[in-house]
Homo-oligomer: A and B are copies of this chain.
Amino acid sequence: MEGSAPRRTRIQQEKRELILEAALEVFSANGFRGSTIDQIAEAAGMSKPNLLYYFRRKEDIHETLMQRLLDTWLAPLRELDDTGDPLTELRSYIRRKLEMARDFPRESRLFANEILQGAPRIKPMLEGELKTLVDEKAAVIKGWMRAGKIARTDPWHLIFSIWATTQHYADFDVQVRAVLGADRGGDGRFEDAARFLEQLFLDGLKPKG
């Protein structure tokens, strides 16, 4: 672990941000191995050796990107509040995740790419940080079930299904657009999805009666 943050000049901070932004664009579209340093450098408006002055290896860029990603990616789940109203909390969570798929599709695809390849670079984080968080929230949901606030079911698979359905609109965007066609595949598709998912999940989770 590097104890203190490495001191960086103003230019270094700016250029690193520029590179990370460009790398997100390129990596999310072509995957890690499918992307070249040249592509990223060009997208960032600089030469390859110049880029390599800021990040010594291609992997360093990817690693930095993944570290930042995971924090923001799990933020919605962290916000799930055990003191709030269960149905409202879950509905909010679904909405927030869907908004992330809409507003940050590149981040979603970058993440999907990494998992698809077997998560070689972030498996420890999945088994550690992520598992801890999900277990914690699953316990919260279980509490809601015991209290009769929502139907009894498996909290872990419930979380998986929320991830799957929302991220689908970012990761499989091309397919969604192709199937919906030019008219229905426009900007309104996320509102349609939001309405559908709310109905699917809430009606399925309502306590009997």
A residues at B contact (CB < 8 Å): 29-34, 109, 112-113, 115-119, 123, 126-127, 130-131, 134-135, 151, 153-154, 156-158, 160-161, 163-165, 167-169, 171-172, 174-176, 178-181, 184, 192-193, 195-197, 199-206
For residue A151, which residues in chain B have a CB less than 8 angstroms away from its CB? 199, 203
* Pairwise interchain contact A165-B174, C-beta atoms closer than 8 A: no
* Pairwise interchain contact B175-A119, C-beta atoms closer than 8 A: yes
* Pairwise interchain contact B157-A192, C-beta atoms closer than 8 A: yes
What is the copy number of this chain in the assembly? 2
Q: For the complex of A and B, list the 8 residue pairs with the smallest distance between their C-beta atoms, beginning with the closest.
A: A204-B204, A164-B168, A126-B178, A33-B34, A157-B196, A164-B164, A203-B204, A127-B178
Shortest CB–CB separation between residue A17 and chain B, in angstroms? 25
**Contact status of A160 and B154, CB under 8 A, knowing A199-B204, A200-B200:** no
* Pairwise interchain contact A160-B156, C-beta atoms closer than 8 A: no
A170 to B161, CA, bound (A): 13
Shortest CB–CB separation between residue A176 and chain B, in angstroms? 6
**Contact status of A119 and B181, CB under 8 A, knowing A154-B192, A200-B201:** no
A85 to B107, CA, bound (A): 41
Shortest CB–CB separation between residue A193 and chain B, in angstroms? 6
A30 to B33, CA, bound (A): 8
Q: Which residue of B lies closest to A112 (CB)?
A: B116
A14 to B205, CA, bound (A): 51
* Pairwise interchain contact A116-B171, C-beta atoms closer than 8 A: yes
A145 to B85, CA, bound (A): 31
Checking B32, B34, B117, B163 against A117 with a beta-carbon cut-off of 8 angstroms, the contacting residue is B34
